[in-house]
């Protein structure tokens, strides 16, 4: 009991000293509590379905940020990883009879292989050339799928997949917990030594090379990590929808990911996640006015990009907090001195 009490006290000290000191962390904490506690308020199947799909696309958007936001390798064909994960998971489940808990991670592994296939020829390309080249890969894979209808189901896709569980609440908690865990892993990667090198490659690749770091290896690693998480999200989507079809490889899917990341704020991981949780339910809400649906969505995107060019989350965070010029620790915007080094905050 003494050891348990010590860990409980340590947990509350951590909450009080690290979470409650910044508004952004409090909001994230409340958001997690909301997600986990929602079924206690409502178990509406439609609402549960929207949140499950939102969590899947949030993983996908964060995985794009991990590659294009942090390393600057602009990928306009991110749907490839999503589609490869969905199709690989579906094929392994239908043909080899691997259960969803096995086929979804293997779908992620297949997307890693796709990341290697794309990453190696694209390493010498930059900016527009890289973006256009990556855009071609999902189109090529769609052509292969249509050319092999006996294996891939052609235009109809592969249907009849098994869900992770047939329970409504079981599915909700599995998808939400997986979303939270994978998001934290991606955030920790970007906050690690590897993430710092990703940052440096985006800012000045030549300087990183001059420091003796193999930038090729790290860019390839970024492609593989991004592919892994996007492939897992594709497998989760296929098993939840019970079908893997060509729609997972559509160009609109690739551009939606980019819009989510830019809307929320790139180079954050949590920015694209927040954007998906705002924009995806918004699209569902305006479905009641189908004639204005696209226009409302476009106006919201344009207003955000016009007045908040670095993204919604960057803007909101700068309003609530400010960074210490000496130790770079963030503080509540109302503070006059840094909470760590006591330096004056402008």
Residue 119 confidence (pLDDT) above 80: no
Using one digit for the tens of pLDDT, what is the confidence trace for 144-168? Answer: 888 888 888 888 888 888 888 888 8
Q: How far is CA 58 from the centre of its chain?
A: 5
Instruction: Look at 249 and 106; give whichever has higher pLDDT.
Output: 106
Percent pLDDT > 90 in the chain is: 28
Integer angstrom CA distances of residue 249 from 180, 238, 245 = 25, 12, 8
pLDDT more than 70, % of the chain: 100
- Encode pLDDT of 1-19 as tens digits: 677 888 888 878 877 777 7
- Please give the pLDDT value at position 305: 82
pLDDT digits (tens, 9 = 90+) for 286-305: 777 777 777 887 888 888 88
pLDDT (tens digit per residue) in 213-248: 888 888 889 988 999 999 999 999 999 999 998 888
CB of 330 within 8 A of CB of 321?
Answer: yes
Contact 273, 264 (CB under 8 A): yes
- In this predicted structure, the answer to whether residue 334 has a pLDDT above a threshold of 90 is no
């Amino acid at each position: 009991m003494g050891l348990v009490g010590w860990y409980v006290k340590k947990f509350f000290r951590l909450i009080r000293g690290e979470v409650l000191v910044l508004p952004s962390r409090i909001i994230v904490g409340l958001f997690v509590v909301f997600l986990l506690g929602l079924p206690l308020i409502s178990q509406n199947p439609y609402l549960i379905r929207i949140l499950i799909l939102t969590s899947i696309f949030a993983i996908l958007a964060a995985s794009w940020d991990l590659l294009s936001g942090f390393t600057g390798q602009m990928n306009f064909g991110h749907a490839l990883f999503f589609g490869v994960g969905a199709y690989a998971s579906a094929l392994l489940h239908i043909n080899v009879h691997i259960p969803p808990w096995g086929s979804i991670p293997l779908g992620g592994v297949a997307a890693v292989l796709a990341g290697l296939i794309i990453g190696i020829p694209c390493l010498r390309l930059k900016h527009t050339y890289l973006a256009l080249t990556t855009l071609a890969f999902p189109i090529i894979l769609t052509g292969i799928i249509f050319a092999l209808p006996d294996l891939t189901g052609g235009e109809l896709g592969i249907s009849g997949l098994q869900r992770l569980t047939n329970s409504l609440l079981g599915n909700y908690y599995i998808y939400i917990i997986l979303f939270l865990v994978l998001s934290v892993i991606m955030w920790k990667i970007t906050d690690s030594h590897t993430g710092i090198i990703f940052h440096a490659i985006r800012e000045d690749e030549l300087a990183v090379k001059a420091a003796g770091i193999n930038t090729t290896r790290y860019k390839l690693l970024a492609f593989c990590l991004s592919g892994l998480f996007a492939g897992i999200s594709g497998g989760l989507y296929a098993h939840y929808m019970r079908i893997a079809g060509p729609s997972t490889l559509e160009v609109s899917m690739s551009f939606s990911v980019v819009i989510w990341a830019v809307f929320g704020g790139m180079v954050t991981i949590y920015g694209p996640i927040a954007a998906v949780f705002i924009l995806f339910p918004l699209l569902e809400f305006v479905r009641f006015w189908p004639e204005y649906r696209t226009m409302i969505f476009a106006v919201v995107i344009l207003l955000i990009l016009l007045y908040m060019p670095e993204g919604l989350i960057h803007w909101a965070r700068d309003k609530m907090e400010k960074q210490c010029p000496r130790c770079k620790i963030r503080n509540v915007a109302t503070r006059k001195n840094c909470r760590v080094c006591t330096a004056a905050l402008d």
